[in-house]
Structure 1
Amino acid sequence: MLDLTLLRKDLDAVIARLQSRKNPQTFLDVERFKALEAERKAVQTRTEELQARRNALSKQIGMKKGKGEDASAEMAEVGGIGDEQKAGAERLDAIQQELHAMLMSVPNLPHESVPSGADETGNVEVRRWGTPKTFDFELKDHVDLGAPLGLDFETGAKLSGSRFTFLKGPAARLHRALAQFMLDVQTTEHGYTECYTPYIVNREVLEGTGQLPKFKEDMFWVLRGGDDEAAEQYLISTSEISLTNTVREQVLDAAQLPIKLTAHSPCFRSEAGSAGRDTRGLIRQHQFDKVEMVQIVHPEKSYEALDEMVGHAEAILQKLGLPYRVMSLCTGDMGFGASKTFDLEVWVPAQGVYREISSCSNCEAFQARRMQARFKNAQGKNELVHTLNGSGLAVGRTLVAVLENYQNADGSITVPEALRPYLGGLAVLKG
């Protein structure tokens, strides 16, 4: 959530920066915001006037009573002032609640270094690693390669509907090996603490990381049997949600920072608005696995941490020998809570394109303000932490990349050397 003081101080500048995300600007009802702010100022001014009058009357009452004089008129006026003050306080509370609700749907402001652009065509390539392999035989995509290995879309659809997949045999084993490999690298080499998180979370947790209220239709949500709206819960779309919220409503010691957490979890996304996109294969699923990285850091260290996190994601691709490129997302393509984002895109031979496999973002204080996650700074004051998140990596898409980049003419798959210890030394996967 944006700092309300920032909007009050320079609303036009904030709107200009929001408009760089997407035009026309639809995130904030500017006229309603101005009206609420005008009313807030008027009510606060009146409240201050009433308090000053009440203080003056209280002195008069004390003086009159001290002289034995009648103070009933002053006391009656004080009573009326009290009623008006109560009404003013209630109105101020209602205004603050409406302003808060309004800001909950406003995205983060892009960092000044973020390239300007309306959509993904405005993203800027930062660097590439690896050279796509050339094949002297007809390429197969991961669907055809995976079928003999146990990649079963038909059973997944029979069990749960479209965009669900059932894995068995070598495909399931490879999927597990990838997740374990990623976790081991992030914990033993990069200093993250491994976590196991709930897959179902409460509404306020999703509000904390920014998925709610704006993106409810992108979530799978459930109500416990017999419970009312207050019991609303959701399946996580990423373990960023649960990991980041571990510091909600806390005041941390500065010495605790940075906090680095990782978890392997399923992710559940309704993919609202994606009808017809990537309908073949594993690229866009309602349920997929991901190894997530989260850092909670001192505000002065967050952009250093972002570069570090991108490197942690790159390390997985490099160890697997998968060609990729790093993209700096433009203002119009960044996620709701991000101030700056780098995407890693892996080479997918059958499509002849790079596809996103990791997204690493610095949210600055945006999520922390929503969660009230703070630390005690050097001056002894409570200050909002900065939060970052990134994929290290999306397991299903990594499986796609391994199958396609390491395919052989006979349909078998050469196992990347880094994965072989996780597959009992197996060097080739065959159906």
Structure 2
Amino acid sequence: MLDLRAISRDPEPAVAALARRKDGSDERLRAALAARERLNALIPERDEARAARNAGSEAIAQAKRSGEDASAAIAQMQAVSARVKELEPEIARLEEEFNQLQVTLPNLTDPTAADEDTPIREWGERASEGRDHLELAGAMIDMEAGSKTSGPRFAYLKGDLVFLELALVRWTLEKLRGHGFEPVIPPVLVKEEALFGTGFLPDTEQQIYRLADDPLYLTGTSEVPLASLHAGEIMDEVPRRYAGFSPCFRREAGAAGKDTRGIFRVHQFDKVEMFAFVEPDQSAAEHERLLAIEEEILQGLHIPYRVVNIAVDDLGSSAAKKFDLEAWLPSQQKFRELTSTSNTTAFQSRRLNIRYRPDGGKPEFVHTLNGTAVAVGRTLIALMENHQTGDGGVEIPAVLQEWGAPARLG
């Protein structure tokens, strides 16, 4: 949520920041500010009229008790009452308009966010060819059984691939703990307030599974419950960093073809997510820190990748800036999105009312950031395709073998 009070003092920079999104949010901001300005003028007038009406009622009653002529007081009160009746529906209309506009406003874009997807750097050697992950995994990925049980784009993972996933998750969590992140297994069913607080509502309703009989939603990322961990609090310590491991659920669509083949784009997947609460002047540095950790993980797994500064018109509503790490997939001969990290500044903390007290002073809103450490399914794809051998097998990096992964698949 934006600080419209502060923005109203000098709206043009904020309008310009939203105009970069090319989604009409700059015009919605202008409309919200206009509604707010009109409310600021009408509400005091209504309150004064109400007070005058109350005072008039008392004056009329007093005149009648004293046997005096109350006709002038009655006429004045009738005029004031008529004005109150005019103002109240107009104020109610403006409040509804303002509230509807306010919740649709995305975060202001960071000046350093790109106008179009911009590769920054690349690491590792691209393989020139290779089999895809379904060919390499064979019976260890059973899409047919998943579809029979749950529908398209669900899968059973079997055999050594299960131990590879568990080793990948454990290795990642240990690495993150070494960077100061507290491991968390959060709830995956959340209330509407948690999704609204993180900016997924109203914005991505079409991607979210909702329970029919309870007011709960399945989360598409543990960012949602991790952000709500301190909702309504004045935090006693920042920075605070968490590493959440959870299954994730998304109804996202995908074009038929490589995106929907195998486990690249499925409705259920596991993920390790980083989440940080920091002081506002530290969020830019924290964003770079999360990006560096994501790169460290991919380098530790020897997965070739590139870093991309994501275009502002492709940012989610809560993000001011976002980096993607795209892994090289030999079977597709292209880079594909594997992880991302976003700086959401104070957008989520305002919605969730999460503050800290700097040096014992007045509470201020924290900044929040998120970053995918490991999207398990896609990382398994990148591991298999980039570590495949000529005989159709896959050599597993030694760092994962130390946590129970097999030395080889196939």
Same fold, judged at TM 0.5 (above):
yes
Q: Is the 8 A contact 2:203 2:317 kept in 1?
A: no
Write the mapping of 1:122-137 to structure 2, written as runs, cut at 5 A: 122-133=116-127
How far off its partner does 1:172 sit?
A: 1.8
1:56–1:207 CA distance, 2 compared to 1 (3 A): same
Separation in structure 2 between the aligned mates of residue 351 and residue 216 of structure 1, nearest angstrom? 31
Unaligned runs of 5+ in 1: 117-121, 225-230
Separation in structure 2 between the aligned mates of residue 288 and residue 15 of structure 1, nearest angstrom? 38
Map of 2:20 onto structure 1: 20
Q: Is the 8 A contact 1:27 1:105 kept in 2?
A: no
Map of 1:44 onto structure 2: 43
User: How much identity, in percent, do the aligned residues show?
Assistant: 36
Q: Is the 8 A contact 1:345 1:357 kept in 2?
A: yes
Deviates more, 1:2-11 or 1:26-35: 26-35
Unaligned runs of 5+ in 2: none
How far off its partner does 1:82 sit?
A: 7.6
Q: Is the 8 A contact 1:197 1:239 kept in 2?
A: yes
Q: SS of 1:423's equivalent? A: coil
Separation in structure 1 between the aligned mates of residue 130 and residue 290 of structure 2, nearest angstrom? 33
Map of 1:341 onto structure 2: 322
Map of 1:249 onto structure 2: 232
Separation in structure 1 between the aligned mates of residue 73 and residue 353 of structure 2, nearest angstrom? 42
How far off its partner does 1:214 sit?
A: 2.0
Map of 2:95 onto structure 1: 96
1:83–1:185 CA distance, 2 compared to 1 (3 A): farther
Map of 1:227 onto structure 2: none
Question: Which of 373, 377, 389 in structure 2 is aligned with 1:396?
Answer: 377
Map of 2:104 onto structure 1: 105
Please state if 1:222 is matched with 2:203: no
Q: Is the 8 A contact 1:217 1:270 kept in 2?
A: yes
Separation in structure 2 between the aligned mates of residue 263 and residue 349 of structure 1, nearest angstrom? 30
Separation in structure 2 between the aligned mates of residue 385 and residue 274 of structure 1, nearest angstrom? 38
Write the mapping of 1:231-250 to structure 2, written as runs, cut at 5 A: 231-250=214-233
Q: SS of 1:346's equivalent? A: strand
Separation in structure 2 between the aligned mates of residue 53 and residue 416 of structure 1, nearest angstrom? 79
Q: Is the 8 A contact 1:27 1:107 kept in 2?
A: no
Separation in structure 2 between the aligned mates of residue 213 and residue 275 of structure 1, nearest angstrom? 27
Question: Which of 169, 176, 193 in structure 2 is aligned with 1:179?
Answer: 169
Please state if 1:160 is matched with 2:159: no
Amino acid at match of 1:19: A
Question: Which of 306, 315, 338 in structure 1 is aligned with 2:287?
Answer: 306
1:7–1:300 CA distance, 2 compared to 1 (3 A): closer
How far off its partner does 1:273 sit?
A: 6.4
TM-score by length of 2: 0.89
Q: Is the 8 A contact 2:188 2:218 kept in 1?
A: yes
1:70–1:335 CA distance, 2 compared to 1 (3 A): same
Separation in structure 2 between the aligned mates of residue 218 and residue 151 of structure 1, nearest angstrom? 24
How far off its partner does 1:104 sit?
A: 1.4
1:310–1:263 CA distance, 2 compared to 1 (3 A): same
Map of 1:371 onto structure 2: 352
Amino acid at match of 1:105: T
Amino acid at match of 2:304: P
Please state if 1:212 is matched with 2:210: no
Separation in structure 2 between the aligned mates of residue 27 and residue 161 of structure 1, nearest angstrom? 41
1:406–1:306 CA distance, 2 compared to 1 (3 A): same
1:42–1:166 CA distance, 2 compared to 1 (3 A): same
Please state if 1:411 is matched with 2:405: no
Q: SS of 2:314's equivalent? A: coil
Amino acid at match of 1:18: L
1:52–1:220 CA distance, 2 compared to 1 (3 A): closer
Please state if 1:259 is matched with 2:240: yes
Deviations 1:262-318 (A, max 9, x none): 111111110146566612122111111110000011111111111111111111111
Map of 1:316 onto structure 2: 297
Deviates more, 1:339-348 or 1:264-273: 264-273
Aligned pairs, how many? 406
TM-score by length of 1: 0.85
1:279–1:322 CA distance, 2 compared to 1 (3 A): same
How far off its partner does 1:54 sit?
A: 6.6
Please state if 1:421 is matched with 2:384: no
CA root-mean-square deviation: 3.0
Q: SS of 2:206's equivalent? A: helix
Q: Is the 8 A contact 2:32 2:102 kept in 1?
A: no
Write the mapping of 1:30-41 to structure 2, written as runs, cut at 5 A: 33=32, 36-37=35-36, 39-41=38-40
Deviates more, 1:25-34 or 1:334-343: 25-34
Separation in structure 2 between the aligned mates of residue 272 and residue 11 of structure 1, nearest angstrom? 37
